[in-house]
Amino acid sequence: MKNDISLKEYVLITNQLINACSSWVEIEHVAWEKPSHANGSYDFGSIKYCYLSLAPLESHIPQPTIEDYAPDSKMSKILSVESVINAPIEFVFDIVSDTHAKHLWILHVKGSDKTNGKIAKNGSTHRCIMNEDENDPFLTSHNFKITKDLITWIDTNHTGKSDLIITLQRI
């Protein structure tokens, strides 16, 4: 929906939405500023709406906390597994990075849940279901490095006691 609002960041609420919500409050009484009202004509008809700038709220947004997931230099390798997979590295990455497929290749993992997205990326989180209790590892994926012949990333357990470092190399 295109409109004539000159603001870059704003909230737009249609009158249709306001009328559809029986518990809706009066925006003028609860909003951070007085809303502007407008009417737009579109190929499907006319829409009445109000909008408010989000700029006054910017000062209330806290600075993000940057979590350090770098492996602890005191950690030591307790297990290393190597396998040759006769498949393109991109295909292997698609499967190995799929949190919902971890149970297919990691022993004792029954499944995954509590994901924050469908695509593995820096900041992706998931829980590996092992015992189905609060001790199941909750992991954050980070430090993705992808080149033509090498893909690596780290899954860090939120307890900070372990990292799973995954490296795929084209041979």
- Looking at the whole model, is its pTM more than 0.85? no
163/109 Cα distance (integer angstroms): 16
Output the CA–CA distances (angstroms, integers) from residue 86 to 100, 107, 121, in the order listed. Answer: 22, 21, 25
Q: Residue 124 in contact with residue 117, Cβ under 8 Å?
A: yes
Per-residue pLDDT in tens (0 to 9) along the chain, 171 residues: 577 888 989 998 888 887 777 666 677 777 888 888 888 888 888 888 888 999 999 988 998 877 666 666 777 777 788 889 999 999 999 999 998 888 888 889 999 999 888 888 888 999 999 999 988 999 999 999 999 999 999 998 888 778 888 999 998
Q: Residue 139 in contact with residue 128, Cβ under 8 Å?
A: yes
Which of 100, 122, 125, 106 is CA-nearest to residue 114?
125
Domains of the chain, by residue range, sit at: 10-60, 89-169
